[in-house]
Structure 1
Amino acid sequence: MIMKLLVCTSLLLCSMVLLVECYPDGAPEESCKTLAPSSEKHDARPQTTTSPYSLNISGFNDGEGYHYELGKTYQLTLLGVDKHPFKGFFVEAREKKSSNETRPTGKFTVMQGDSVSRLSSCSVRTDGITQKSAVEKVAVTFEWTAPTLGVGDINFEFAVVQVKKIYWAHQLTASIKQKPSAL
Protein backbone atom coordinates (compact mmCIF):
# COMPACT_ATOMS: atom_id res chain seq x y z
CA MET A 1 0.00 0.00 0.00
CA ILE A 2 2.80 2.41 0.91
CA MET A 3 4.59 1.52 -2.33
CA LYS A 4 1.42 2.34 -4.36
CA LEU A 5 1.10 5.64 -2.54
CA LEU A 6 4.74 6.51 -3.28
CA VAL A 7 4.35 5.63 -6.96
CA CYS A 8 1.14 7.70 -7.27
CA THR A 9 2.73 10.65 -5.46
CA SER A 10 5.80 10.46 -7.71
CA LEU A 11 3.65 10.38 -10.85
CA LEU A 12 1.61 13.34 -9.64
CA LEU A 13 4.74 15.38 -8.88
CA CYS A 14 6.26 14.54 -12.27
CA SER A 15 3.03 15.65 -13.99
CA MET A 16 3.10 18.96 -12.13
CA VAL A 17 6.72 19.56 -13.16
CA LEU A 18 5.80 18.93 -16.80
CA LEU A 19 2.95 21.43 -16.62
CA VAL A 20 5.23 24.27 -15.54
CA GLU A 21 8.00 23.62 -18.06
CA CYS A 22 6.68 26.37 -20.41
CA TYR A 23 6.94 25.86 -24.14
CA PRO A 24 10.22 23.93 -24.48
CA ASP A 25 9.31 23.37 -28.15
CA GLY A 26 9.10 27.06 -29.05
CA ALA A 27 7.16 30.23 -28.60
CA PRO A 28 3.37 29.88 -28.95
CA GLU A 29 1.47 31.87 -31.57
CA GLU A 30 0.30 34.45 -29.00
CA SER A 31 3.96 35.54 -28.74
CA CYS A 32 3.53 37.04 -32.21
CA LYS A 33 1.32 39.76 -30.75
CA THR A 34 3.37 40.51 -27.63
CA LEU A 35 6.85 39.61 -28.88
CA ALA A 36 7.58 38.43 -25.34
CA PRO A 37 7.40 35.23 -23.34
CA SER A 38 4.29 34.92 -21.19
CA SER A 39 5.03 36.41 -17.76
CA GLU A 40 2.33 34.14 -16.29
CA LYS A 41 3.80 30.97 -17.80
CA HIS A 42 7.34 31.96 -16.88
CA ASP A 43 6.24 33.09 -13.42
CA ALA A 44 8.46 36.18 -13.77
CA ARG A 45 8.75 39.56 -15.47
CA PRO A 46 11.30 40.32 -18.21
CA GLN A 47 14.74 41.35 -17.06
CA THR A 48 15.46 45.09 -17.14
CA THR A 49 19.24 44.72 -17.06
CA THR A 50 21.34 44.76 -20.21
CA SER A 51 20.82 41.52 -22.10
CA PRO A 52 23.81 39.17 -22.41
CA TYR A 53 22.49 38.23 -25.87
CA SER A 54 22.73 39.91 -29.25
CA LEU A 55 21.53 39.39 -32.80
CA ASN A 56 24.37 39.78 -35.28
CA ILE A 57 23.14 41.78 -38.27
CA SER A 58 26.57 42.64 -39.71
CA GLY A 59 25.54 41.30 -43.15
CA PHE A 60 23.27 44.34 -43.50
CA ASN A 61 26.14 46.83 -43.08
CA ASP A 62 27.08 48.00 -46.57
CA GLY A 63 29.65 50.55 -45.42
CA GLU A 64 27.05 53.32 -45.54
CA GLY A 65 24.88 52.04 -42.70
CA TYR A 66 22.47 49.15 -42.34
CA HIS A 67 20.49 48.45 -45.52
CA TYR A 68 18.60 45.52 -47.02
CA GLU A 69 17.83 44.69 -50.64
CA LEU A 70 14.40 43.46 -51.66
CA GLY A 71 14.31 39.66 -52.04
CA LYS A 72 17.90 39.17 -50.82
CA THR A 73 18.69 36.47 -48.21
CA TYR A 74 20.79 37.34 -45.15
CA GLN A 75 22.37 35.17 -42.49
CA LEU A 76 21.81 36.19 -38.85
CA THR A 77 23.19 34.75 -35.62
CA LEU A 78 21.62 35.04 -32.18
CA LEU A 79 24.36 34.54 -29.62
CA GLY A 80 25.21 34.77 -25.99
CA VAL A 81 27.95 37.28 -25.21
CA ASP A 82 30.96 35.33 -23.88
CA LYS A 83 29.11 32.13 -24.86
CA HIS A 84 26.33 32.80 -22.36
CA PRO A 85 23.87 29.87 -22.80
CA PHE A 86 20.14 30.20 -23.43
CA LYS A 87 17.23 27.77 -23.76
CA GLY A 88 14.62 29.67 -25.74
CA PHE A 89 14.31 32.44 -28.31
CA PHE A 90 11.88 34.12 -30.66
CA VAL A 91 12.88 36.44 -33.53
CA GLU A 92 10.84 38.47 -36.02
CA ALA A 93 11.66 41.16 -38.56
CA ARG A 94 9.19 44.01 -38.04
CA GLU A 95 8.24 46.75 -40.50
CA LYS A 96 7.16 50.02 -38.98
CA LYS A 97 3.66 51.00 -40.03
CA SER A 98 3.42 53.94 -37.61
CA SER A 99 5.03 54.99 -34.36
CA ASN A 100 2.95 52.44 -32.42
CA GLU A 101 2.22 49.78 -35.01
CA THR A 102 4.55 47.20 -36.51
CA ARG A 103 3.98 43.95 -38.33
CA PRO A 104 6.11 40.93 -39.31
CA THR A 105 7.86 41.00 -42.65
CA GLY A 106 10.18 38.82 -44.68
CA LYS A 107 10.71 35.08 -44.46
CA PHE A 108 12.91 33.04 -42.11
CA THR A 109 14.60 29.78 -43.05
CA VAL A 110 16.05 27.16 -40.72
CA MET A 111 19.63 26.39 -41.79
CA GLN A 112 20.41 22.89 -43.05
CA GLY A 113 21.62 20.75 -40.13
CA ASP A 114 20.04 23.03 -37.50
CA SER A 115 18.36 20.75 -34.96
CA VAL A 116 17.38 23.47 -32.45
CA SER A 117 15.22 25.90 -34.50
CA ARG A 118 11.79 25.83 -36.08
CA LEU A 119 9.67 28.33 -37.99
CA SER A 120 6.92 30.22 -36.24
CA SER A 121 3.54 31.10 -37.73
CA CYS A 122 2.44 34.65 -37.01
CA SER A 123 0.88 36.09 -40.17
CA VAL A 124 2.31 33.31 -42.33
CA ARG A 125 4.29 30.17 -41.50
CA THR A 126 7.75 31.64 -42.06
CA ASP A 127 7.62 35.11 -40.50
CA GLY A 128 9.25 34.17 -37.19
CA ILE A 129 11.76 31.69 -35.82
CA THR A 130 11.89 30.04 -32.39
CA GLN A 131 13.48 27.12 -30.57
CA LYS A 132 12.50 23.51 -31.26
CA SER A 133 13.56 22.32 -27.80
CA ALA A 134 14.82 23.65 -24.48
CA VAL A 135 18.29 22.23 -25.03
CA GLU A 136 20.97 24.75 -24.00
CA LYS A 137 22.57 26.68 -26.85
CA VAL A 138 25.12 29.51 -27.09
CA ALA A 139 24.38 30.53 -30.69
CA VAL A 140 21.79 29.90 -33.39
CA THR A 141 22.28 30.85 -37.04
CA PHE A 142 19.38 31.21 -39.46
CA GLU A 143 18.47 32.99 -42.67
CA TRP A 144 16.04 35.80 -43.35
CA THR A 145 14.86 36.76 -46.82
CA ALA A 146 13.74 40.34 -47.30
CA PRO A 147 10.28 40.91 -48.77
CA THR A 148 10.08 41.41 -52.53
CA LEU A 149 7.87 44.48 -52.19
CA GLY A 150 9.10 47.62 -50.43
CA VAL A 151 8.11 48.03 -46.78
CA GLY A 152 10.53 50.75 -45.66
CA ASP A 153 12.64 50.56 -42.51
CA ILE A 154 12.70 47.38 -40.41
CA ASN A 155 14.09 46.18 -37.09
CA PHE A 156 14.61 42.68 -35.83
CA GLU A 157 12.90 42.22 -32.50
CA PHE A 158 13.74 39.25 -30.31
CA ALA A 159 13.27 37.63 -26.93
CA VAL A 160 15.70 35.24 -25.24
CA VAL A 161 14.96 32.85 -22.37
CA GLN A 162 18.02 31.98 -20.31
CA VAL A 163 16.05 29.77 -17.91
CA LYS A 164 12.36 29.71 -17.04
CA LYS A 165 12.37 32.75 -14.73
CA ILE A 166 15.13 34.74 -16.45
CA TYR A 167 14.37 36.19 -19.87
CA TRP A 168 14.76 39.38 -21.91
CA ALA A 169 11.97 40.61 -24.17
CA HIS A 170 11.58 43.33 -26.80
CA GLN A 171 15.27 43.41 -27.72
CA LEU A 172 15.79 45.47 -30.88
CA THR A 173 18.52 45.65 -33.47
CA ALA A 174 19.53 48.89 -35.11
CA SER A 175 17.08 50.18 -37.71
CA ILE A 176 17.75 48.68 -41.13
CA LYS A 177 16.78 50.83 -44.08
CA GLN A 178 15.53 49.65 -47.42
CA LYS A 179 18.31 50.11 -49.96
CA PRO A 180 17.67 53.44 -51.77
CA SER A 181 18.00 51.92 -55.23
CA ALA A 182 15.13 49.58 -54.35
CA LEU A 183 12.68 52.33 -53.27
Structure 2
Amino acid sequence: MLPRKKCLLLLTIIVLIRSSQQHSSGAPSGACIDQLPRHSTIIPQTSVPPYVIIPSASQVRQGDTMNVTIGSPAGAPVPIGGFILQARQIQNPDTIVGKFTSVPDPGITHMTTCSNQNDTVTHSNPQEKPALTFQWQAPTDFLGGIEFRATVAQSYATFWRNVESPLVEVVTRDTVITTTAAPATTTTTSAPPVTSDISSPPVTENRDLIYNGCDDTKLCFGVPQNCVSSGTCKGIVAVLVEGEKYTFELQGTDKP
Protein backbone atom coordinates (compact mmCIF):
# COMPACT_ATOMS: atom_id res chain seq x y z
CA MET A 1 0.00 0.00 0.00
CA LEU A 2 1.28 3.47 -0.84
CA PRO A 3 2.19 5.75 2.05
CA ARG A 4 -0.46 8.33 2.94
CA LYS A 5 1.61 11.31 1.68
CA LYS A 6 2.19 9.64 -1.71
CA CYS A 7 -1.53 8.88 -2.04
CA LEU A 8 -2.43 12.49 -1.33
CA LEU A 9 0.17 13.72 -3.84
CA LEU A 10 -1.12 11.34 -6.51
CA LEU A 11 -4.73 12.45 -5.89
CA THR A 12 -3.70 16.12 -6.17
CA ILE A 13 -1.92 15.49 -9.49
CA ILE A 14 -4.98 13.69 -10.90
CA VAL A 15 -7.27 16.56 -9.87
CA LEU A 16 -4.94 19.14 -11.44
CA ILE A 17 -4.71 17.15 -14.68
CA ARG A 18 -8.48 16.88 -14.92
CA SER A 19 -8.90 20.56 -14.16
CA SER A 20 -6.33 21.49 -16.83
CA GLN A 21 -7.99 19.24 -19.42
CA GLN A 22 -11.41 20.73 -18.76
CA HIS A 23 -10.08 24.27 -18.98
CA SER A 24 -8.23 23.67 -22.25
CA SER A 25 -11.25 22.10 -23.93
CA GLY A 26 -13.37 25.25 -23.89
CA ALA A 27 -14.83 28.03 -21.80
CA PRO A 28 -16.24 26.84 -18.45
CA SER A 29 -20.02 26.77 -17.96
CA GLY A 30 -19.72 29.59 -15.44
CA ALA A 31 -18.54 31.90 -18.23
CA CYS A 32 -21.88 31.82 -20.07
CA ILE A 33 -22.97 35.32 -18.98
CA ASP A 34 -19.83 37.26 -18.00
CA GLN A 35 -17.56 35.44 -20.50
CA LEU A 36 -14.70 35.33 -18.00
CA PRO A 37 -12.41 32.28 -18.37
CA ARG A 38 -11.78 31.79 -14.60
CA HIS A 39 -8.01 31.98 -14.99
CA SER A 40 -7.35 32.15 -11.25
CA THR A 41 -6.55 35.76 -10.32
CA ILE A 42 -5.64 36.86 -13.86
CA ILE A 43 -7.74 39.81 -15.06
CA PRO A 44 -8.60 40.88 -18.64
CA GLN A 45 -6.32 43.20 -20.59
CA THR A 46 -7.36 46.88 -20.66
CA SER A 47 -5.67 47.73 -23.97
CA VAL A 48 -7.43 47.82 -27.34
CA PRO A 49 -8.07 44.20 -28.35
CA PRO A 50 -5.92 42.88 -31.22
CA TYR A 51 -9.02 41.07 -32.48
CA VAL A 52 -12.15 42.01 -34.43
CA ILE A 53 -15.49 40.28 -34.94
CA ILE A 54 -16.92 40.70 -38.44
CA PRO A 55 -20.51 39.66 -39.33
CA SER A 56 -21.14 39.01 -43.01
CA ALA A 57 -24.16 41.33 -43.09
CA SER A 58 -25.68 44.32 -41.35
CA GLN A 59 -29.17 42.79 -41.59
CA VAL A 60 -30.50 39.25 -41.38
CA ARG A 61 -34.06 37.93 -41.61
CA GLN A 62 -35.63 35.94 -38.78
CA GLY A 63 -34.55 32.31 -39.12
CA ASP A 64 -31.92 33.04 -41.78
CA THR A 65 -28.24 32.11 -41.47
CA MET A 66 -25.23 34.40 -41.70
CA ASN A 67 -21.48 34.13 -41.12
CA VAL A 68 -19.43 35.70 -38.34
CA THR A 69 -15.62 35.80 -38.27
CA ILE A 70 -13.15 36.27 -35.41
CA GLY A 71 -9.74 37.46 -36.55
CA SER A 72 -7.11 40.15 -36.18
CA PRO A 73 -6.74 43.38 -38.17
CA ALA A 74 -4.55 43.53 -41.26
CA GLY A 75 -0.89 44.12 -40.53
CA ALA A 76 -1.13 42.77 -37.00
CA PRO A 77 -1.94 39.04 -37.16
CA VAL A 78 -2.44 37.66 -33.66
CA PRO A 79 -3.27 33.95 -33.22
CA ILE A 80 -6.30 32.92 -31.17
CA GLY A 81 -5.67 30.67 -28.21
CA GLY A 82 -9.12 30.37 -26.65
CA PHE A 83 -12.45 32.16 -26.98
CA ILE A 84 -16.15 32.20 -26.21
CA LEU A 85 -18.51 33.81 -28.75
CA GLN A 86 -22.24 34.58 -28.54
CA ALA A 87 -24.88 36.85 -30.08
CA ARG A 88 -26.38 39.26 -27.52
CA GLN A 89 -29.42 41.56 -27.64
CA ILE A 90 -28.49 45.24 -27.76
CA GLN A 91 -31.32 46.24 -25.41
CA ASN A 92 -30.71 43.32 -23.02
CA PRO A 93 -26.96 42.61 -23.20
CA ASP A 94 -27.13 39.57 -20.90
CA THR A 95 -29.63 37.82 -23.21
CA ILE A 96 -28.08 35.35 -25.67
CA VAL A 97 -30.03 34.97 -28.93
CA GLY A 98 -29.96 32.71 -31.97
CA LYS A 99 -27.85 29.61 -32.42
CA PHE A 100 -24.76 28.46 -34.28
CA THR A 101 -25.25 25.85 -36.98
CA SER A 102 -21.66 25.01 -37.97
CA VAL A 103 -18.03 25.49 -36.94
CA PRO A 104 -14.99 25.65 -39.24
CA ASP A 105 -13.11 22.73 -37.65
CA PRO A 106 -14.64 20.48 -34.96
CA GLY A 107 -11.12 19.52 -33.91
CA ILE A 108 -10.34 23.03 -32.63
CA THR A 109 -13.81 24.55 -32.00
CA HIS A 110 -17.23 23.33 -30.98
CA MET A 111 -20.77 24.50 -30.24
CA THR A 112 -22.12 24.42 -26.69
CA THR A 113 -25.27 25.42 -24.81
CA CYS A 114 -25.67 28.25 -22.30
CA SER A 115 -29.31 29.42 -22.44
CA ASN A 116 -30.53 27.61 -25.57
CA GLN A 117 -29.12 24.78 -27.66
CA ASN A 118 -25.90 25.67 -29.52
CA ASP A 119 -26.14 29.38 -28.67
CA THR A 120 -22.40 29.56 -27.93
CA VAL A 121 -19.15 28.55 -29.66
CA THR A 122 -15.81 28.05 -27.95
CA HIS A 123 -12.40 26.43 -28.45
CA SER A 124 -11.76 22.69 -28.20
CA ASN A 125 -8.06 23.02 -27.38
CA PRO A 126 -5.60 25.80 -26.44
CA GLN A 127 -3.51 25.53 -29.61
CA GLU A 128 -2.98 28.69 -31.68
CA LYS A 129 -5.70 29.23 -34.27
CA PRO A 130 -6.06 31.49 -37.33
CA ALA A 131 -9.16 33.56 -38.10
CA LEU A 132 -12.32 31.50 -37.59
CA THR A 133 -15.67 31.76 -39.38
CA PHE A 134 -18.91 30.36 -37.94
CA GLN A 135 -22.47 30.11 -39.22
CA TRP A 136 -25.13 31.63 -36.98
CA GLN A 137 -28.90 31.42 -37.34
CA ALA A 138 -31.08 34.36 -36.31
CA PRO A 139 -33.95 33.64 -33.88
CA THR A 140 -37.49 33.37 -35.24
CA ASP A 141 -39.06 35.07 -32.21
CA PHE A 142 -36.97 38.24 -31.99
CA LEU A 143 -36.73 41.53 -33.89
CA GLY A 144 -34.15 44.21 -33.21
CA GLY A 145 -30.45 44.84 -32.84
CA ILE A 146 -27.87 42.27 -31.83
CA GLU A 147 -24.10 42.21 -31.61
CA PHE A 148 -21.65 39.34 -31.48
CA ARG A 149 -19.62 39.50 -28.29
CA ALA A 150 -16.57 37.49 -27.31
CA THR A 151 -13.77 37.02 -24.87
CA VAL A 152 -10.64 36.10 -26.83
CA ALA A 153 -7.44 34.76 -25.27
CA GLN A 154 -4.03 34.98 -26.89
CA SER A 155 -2.60 32.82 -24.10
CA TYR A 156 -3.62 31.61 -20.65
CA ALA A 157 -2.50 34.86 -19.00
CA THR A 158 -3.46 37.28 -21.79
CA PHE A 159 -7.06 37.74 -22.83
CA TRP A 160 -9.49 40.49 -23.82
CA ARG A 161 -13.13 40.68 -22.76
CA ASN A 162 -16.03 42.41 -24.55
CA VAL A 163 -14.68 42.15 -28.08
CA GLU A 164 -17.76 43.29 -30.01
CA SER A 165 -18.97 43.25 -33.61
CA PRO A 166 -20.77 46.02 -35.48
CA LEU A 167 -24.54 46.11 -34.98
CA VAL A 168 -26.62 43.53 -36.85
CA GLU A 169 -30.38 44.07 -37.24
CA VAL A 170 -32.73 41.08 -37.18
CA VAL A 171 -35.64 41.93 -39.50
CA THR A 172 -38.92 40.27 -40.49
CA ARG A 173 -39.06 37.38 -42.93
CA ASP A 174 -40.68 39.56 -45.61
CA THR A 175 -38.07 42.34 -45.46
CA VAL A 176 -36.43 42.90 -48.85
CA ILE A 177 -32.64 42.78 -48.61
CA THR A 178 -31.27 43.59 -52.04
CA THR A 179 -27.54 42.87 -51.72
CA THR A 180 -25.85 39.51 -51.23
CA ALA A 181 -22.33 38.22 -50.87
CA ALA A 182 -20.62 34.85 -50.90
CA PRO A 183 -20.19 33.46 -47.38
CA ALA A 184 -16.76 33.77 -45.76
CA THR A 185 -15.91 30.31 -44.46
CA THR A 186 -12.84 28.18 -43.90
CA THR A 187 -14.62 24.87 -44.51
CA THR A 188 -14.93 23.06 -47.81
CA THR A 189 -18.63 22.34 -47.32
CA SER A 190 -21.23 24.49 -49.00
CA ALA A 191 -22.81 27.30 -47.02
CA PRO A 192 -26.15 29.08 -47.46
CA PRO A 193 -26.31 32.52 -49.10
CA VAL A 194 -25.83 35.45 -46.77
CA THR A 195 -26.72 39.10 -47.02
CA SER A 196 -24.20 41.91 -46.81
CA ASP A 197 -24.06 45.67 -46.72
CA ILE A 198 -22.44 45.82 -50.17
CA SER A 199 -23.56 47.88 -53.14
CA SER A 200 -21.86 49.32 -56.20
CA PRO A 201 -20.16 52.60 -55.24
CA PRO A 202 -20.38 55.71 -57.41
CA VAL A 203 -17.20 56.76 -59.13
CA THR A 204 -15.59 59.65 -57.26
CA GLU A 205 -12.15 61.18 -57.72
CA ASN A 206 -11.43 61.44 -53.97
CA ARG A 207 -12.64 57.98 -53.01
CA ASP A 208 -10.25 56.28 -50.52
CA LEU A 209 -8.49 53.10 -51.67
CA ILE A 210 -10.02 51.05 -48.83
CA TYR A 211 -13.36 51.18 -50.69
CA ASN A 212 -11.90 49.52 -53.78
CA GLY A 213 -13.41 46.05 -54.16
CA CYS A 214 -16.25 46.60 -51.70
CA ASP A 215 -18.68 45.92 -54.52
CA ASP A 216 -17.25 42.56 -55.59
CA THR A 217 -14.12 41.19 -53.87
CA LYS A 218 -14.36 42.34 -50.22
CA LEU A 219 -16.87 42.46 -47.39
CA CYS A 220 -17.12 46.05 -46.14
CA PHE A 221 -18.88 47.40 -43.06
CA GLY A 222 -18.98 51.05 -42.07
CA VAL A 223 -20.56 53.63 -39.82
CA PRO A 224 -22.86 55.42 -40.22
CA GLN A 225 -25.13 52.91 -41.94
CA ASN A 226 -25.06 52.76 -45.77
CA CYS A 227 -21.91 54.91 -45.97
CA VAL A 228 -19.91 52.30 -47.92
CA SER A 229 -21.67 52.96 -51.23
CA SER A 230 -20.92 56.69 -51.02
CA GLY A 231 -17.39 56.29 -49.65
CA THR A 232 -18.11 58.59 -46.70
CA CYS A 233 -17.69 56.30 -43.68
CA LYS A 234 -16.34 57.70 -40.42
CA GLY A 235 -15.16 54.17 -39.66
CA ILE A 236 -14.86 51.18 -42.00
CA VAL A 237 -13.72 47.55 -41.78
CA ALA A 238 -12.95 45.66 -45.01
CA VAL A 239 -12.39 41.88 -45.08
CA LEU A 240 -10.75 40.12 -48.03
CA VAL A 241 -11.21 36.34 -48.00
CA GLU A 242 -8.76 34.27 -50.05
CA GLY A 243 -9.33 30.61 -49.26
CA GLU A 244 -8.25 30.21 -45.63
CA LYS A 245 -6.50 33.59 -45.58
CA TYR A 246 -8.32 36.60 -44.12
CA THR A 247 -7.02 40.12 -44.64
CA PHE A 248 -8.55 42.85 -42.48
CA GLU A 249 -8.37 46.59 -43.17
CA LEU A 250 -9.58 49.16 -40.61
CA GLN A 251 -9.79 52.89 -41.06
CA GLY A 252 -11.32 55.74 -39.09
CA THR A 253 -11.51 59.49 -39.21
CA ASP A 254 -11.90 62.18 -36.59
CA LYS A 255 -13.94 64.36 -38.94
CA PRO A 256 -17.33 65.33 -37.45
Q: TM-score, normalized by length of structure 1?
A: 0.77
**Aligned sequence identity (%):** 27
In 2, Cα distance between the equivalents of 1:141 and 1:89?
A: 13
Q: RMSD across aligned C-alpha pairs, in angstroms?
A: 2.8
Contact 1:35–1:157 (CA<8 Å) still a contact in 2? no
What displacement does 1:42 show? 4.4
Match in the other structure for 1:43: 41
Q: Distance in 2 between matches of 1:145 and 1:93?
A: 10
Q: Structure 1 residues 163, 13: CA separation in 2 closer, same or farther (over 3 Å shift)?
A: farther
1:73 to 65, 73, 77: 65
1:28 to partner: Cα distance: 1.3
Q: In structure 2, give the amino acid aligned to 1:158.
A: A
Q: Distance in 1 between matches of 2:60 and 2:40?
A: 35
Q: Point out which structure has higher relative CO (alpha carbons under 8 A, 6+ apart).
A: 1
Q: Residue 109 of structure 1: CA displacement?
A: 2.3
Structure 1 residues without counterparts, runs of 5 or longer: 1-7, 61-65
Q: 1:44 to 1:21 in 2, by over 3 A?
A: farther
**Cα 1:103/1:71, change in 2 over 3 Å:** same
Structure 1 residue ranges (4+ consecutive) displaced by more than 4 angstroms after TM superposition: 10-17, 19-22
Residue in structure 2 matched with residue 96 of structure 1 by the alignment: 90
How many residues are treated as equivalent by the alignment?
167
Deviation at residue 136 of structure 1 after TM alignment: 0.9
Paired with 1:172 and 1:114, the residues of 2 have a C-alpha distance of 24
Deviations 1:105-148 (A, max 9, x none): 11112336442111121012310000011111121121101111
Q: What 5-or-longer segments of structure 2 have no aligned partner?
A: 1-6, 176-256
Residue 120 of structure 2 aligns with an amino acid whose one-letter code is G
Quote the residue 2:118 is aligned against: 126
TM-score (norm 2): 0.57
Change over 3 Å in CA distance of 1:53–1:42 after alignment to 2: farther
| Aligned match for 1:141, one of 133, 140, 147 | 133
Larger Rg: 2
